[in-house]
Amino acid sequence: MAESLISELKRRNVFKVGVAYLVLAWVVVQITSIAVPALHLPNWINTAVFFFGLIGFPFALFFAWAFEITPDGIKLESGISSGDSTAALTGRRLDFIIIGLMSIALLYFIYESRFQSATALVLPTDQAEVIAQVSIKVNTNNPSISESKGTSIAVLPFVNMSSDKEQEYFSDGISEEILNVLAKIPKLQVTSRSSAFAYKDTKINISEVAKVLGVKNVLEGSVRKSGARVRITAQLINAETDKHLWSESYDRELDDIFQVQDEISAEIVDALKETLGIVLVKTVSSVQTINPKAYDLYLQGLRGLHTYTFESLDNAAAALESATDIAPGFLMARIKLAETYARQIITGSRFDWQILDKAEALIKDVLSINPNSAEAYFVRSLIIKTDRKLRNQYAKEAYRLNPNNVDIIIRHAQSNGAGMGEDNARALFKRAQKVDPLNADLPYFFAVYLVQTLQKYSEAEQTLKQAIKVNPKNTFYPFYLGQIYAQHMGKIVDAIKLAENGARLDPNDPYFPQALSVYYLSLGSGLKSLEYADKAMSINANNAEIINQKVNSLIYLGQTAKALKLINDTVADANTVYPSKQLKERFITGAIYVLIKQNKLAEAETLINQHIPKIIERINQPYPATLNDIENINGLLLLACVYQAQGQLAKAEKLVKRVKQRDESFYLTGQSRLLGIEYMNLAISSSLENNDEQTIKYLEAAIDNGYLYNWRAHLLQSPYFIDLAQRPDFMALIGRLETEMLKQIALLKQ
């Protein structure tokens, strides 16, 4: 009975129809999965195709059993005589159909496995897992880290549908602008740009993306720009149910772009109003029109700002300058231009510090028009000419106006972390991590806070190691970790290994060989230190910070004539670049040491007055006037040192009083523990007061805090500690350091 049934199923081609149906259904499902996102169709179409394909399978088998295709059409099987049956011919045709369909399936499989996987980026799930290991420990009883009510959304980068692929910056910029508008809505947690854009150019699964980013809703879409017109398509998806909550297309002139952004945000709030518990009134945008060319340049500027290289920042500045020239009332273009200027100074891509005056003027103009611009206050906090107290105030105000912007959260935590208390600062970093879970820079920023505010070096070390694991190509993380090892943890060998690896990763970065020169000088290897200093100068011959390290190496090797010539040639060269305003004053420290040792005191005084004009005027300035004024007192220290050597003690005392104001304001008030470099600064002040015992105590405290960074230059080649050289306690301190260096050298040889 069973055999006859199987034979009959074969005769009626039921098995072949089933196989053909399954292969065809698989091909259709695969094609649909590609076509639906490409055509920006609702995601439920994929579900519908699969569902109907599954339901159709038993019907296909039934029709194969009950009906037969004949030359006269489709007839019931029961009405066809065995002599008239064409089942064998139909079966042969089905064989060819199955072979054809399987060939298509095979070709698709080869394409998917070989080509598609090679070009598509892997979902950053593993990266998220690694970042999640960066544990920002918080006090769970702190009310500031309680879960906020509302809902969450990620704005994925909109797809560029323009014929010109160079228009990618435009679709990215539109996505970011919509994200920024949404981030200002109360109770709506918006994933930051860096995490959302981690999925750019990747094949994505909405639920998987939402899980990694920790959001309930996802906004995706496309942008097509043609001349002065733009078509924006957007759709809001509930990640848990895959349900489309809202979708819309907008065909507009570019000068209406702000209105479109406001409409999209209003529609999203309307779709989520039950969860958010608010209603966003749909009104005309406060900026109704914008010059299309200015907006295009603005988006080009954003791309350069986010790329964050020297070249891209220059391009961003040029684009944003043009945008503000075309549309002076375009406030966000002004804000981003000011930010670009600040970033150029911060990164060292330019050193004309007066550009910060222009940045400050731009921000003042913006705030006079819109006093509630969080972005303007954020950028103002970056303009480092302002004093520390005011800088912190700007960061705090930016956070008050927009507590959902991750850059503002981090800036507020960094600037005001010491004043708000450790629990609150950690809570802010944790919140930033929630908003920006794929941002590898967050562990770095948190590590900076741990070092500079809490002096928790071991925790900072582990945090940075995780950051390196997340992004091993970023050379700044190991560079900063090396600085922590050398300046705070006394691990010169570990710092050397990181710098050597960094130099291999980026052979065009002069700061790694410069750091190696510092580390080897600390170990007492003067020739190796000079070798690395020369290597750094071969990459960048005009950087005074790098040249200064060569000066230190030459002085250690006893080549003082060469050191003095290099100093004089450098300060006389108009092409010399000083990465920080106070560096020029620190740069001549080596020369002052050599000249005092040679008893050429008049020459030393002339050198200071020649290269630091109007230095005496600083004594009568209000203190502290600016953050730079706080730091730029190296000239006063050097002049006081020369006056003491000359026997002009009254003049020296007046300068020392000025320096003591810094110590009392920033080192000796309200701080229980200082950084090693801060103890070094206090030691210099004490030495100028001729308080040798206190000087030794401060130096010991610096060393106890792991400060081995360039210690030979700072202690043995310093004009401030010349008179301590024969003191037994100073000699004991140097002996302690030399013993530690022998241990470090032994570790290096292992």
CA 323 to chain centre: 25
Q: Which residues of 707-735 are buried (b: 16+ CB within 10 A; e: fewer)?
A: bbbbbbbbbebbbbbeebeeeeebeebbe
Q: What is the spatial distance between Cα 94 and Cα 107, in angstroms, rounded to a whole number?
A: 20
pLDDT digits 0-9 by tens, 134-145: 556 555 455 444
Asked which of 634-638, 676-680, 741-745 is least confident by mean pLDDT, the reply is 634-638
Task: Choose among 129, 117, 132, 124: nearest CA to 154.
Answer: 124
Average pLDDT over residues 289-297: 83
**Per-chain mean pLDDT for the chain:** 80
Asked which of 96-100, 535-539, 546-550 is least confident by mean pLDDT, the reply is 96-100
Please give the model's pTM, rounded to 2 decimal places: 0.67
Average pLDDT over residues 13-26: 74
Q: Is the pLDDT of residue 646 over 90?
A: yes
Residue 286 confidence class, pLDDT cut points 50, 70, 90: very low
Task: Dig out the tokens for 392 from the structure.
Answer: 């912190």
For 612: left if phi > 0, alpha if psi spans -120 to 50, otherwise beta; the answer is beta
Contact between 290 and 322 under an 8 Å Cβ cutoff? The reply is no
Q: Which residue type, as a one-letter code, is found at position 41? A: L
pLDDT digits 0-9 by tens, 368-384: 999 999 999 999 999 86
Q: What is the pLDDT of residue 550?
A: 97
Q: What is the spatial distance between Cα 433 and Cα 136, in angstroms, rounded to a whole number?
A: 9
Q: What would the DSSP string read from start to end of 465-505?
A: HHHHHH-TT-SHHHHHHHHHIIIII--HHHHHHHHHHHHHH
Q: Is the pLDDT of residue 597 over 90?
A: yes
Share of the chain above pLDDT 70, in %: 76
pLDDT digits 0-9 by tens, 425-470: 999 998 888 888 888 778 888 998 999 888 899 999 999 988 888 7
pLDDT digits 0-9 by tens, 651-669: 888 888 877 776 666 666 5
Q: Which tops the pLDDT comparison, 349 or 318?
A: 318
Contact between 485 and 478 under an 8 Å Cβ cutoff? The reply is no
Task: Dig out the tokens for 557 from the structure.
Answer: 């090797």
Task: Choose among 417, 355, 255: nearest CA to 363.
Answer: 355
pLDDT digits 0-9 by tens, 579-594: 766 677 778 899 999 9
* 531: CB partners within 8 A, 6+ apart: 517
CA 24 to chain centre: 47
Per CATH, domain 153-289 is 1.10.357.10: no
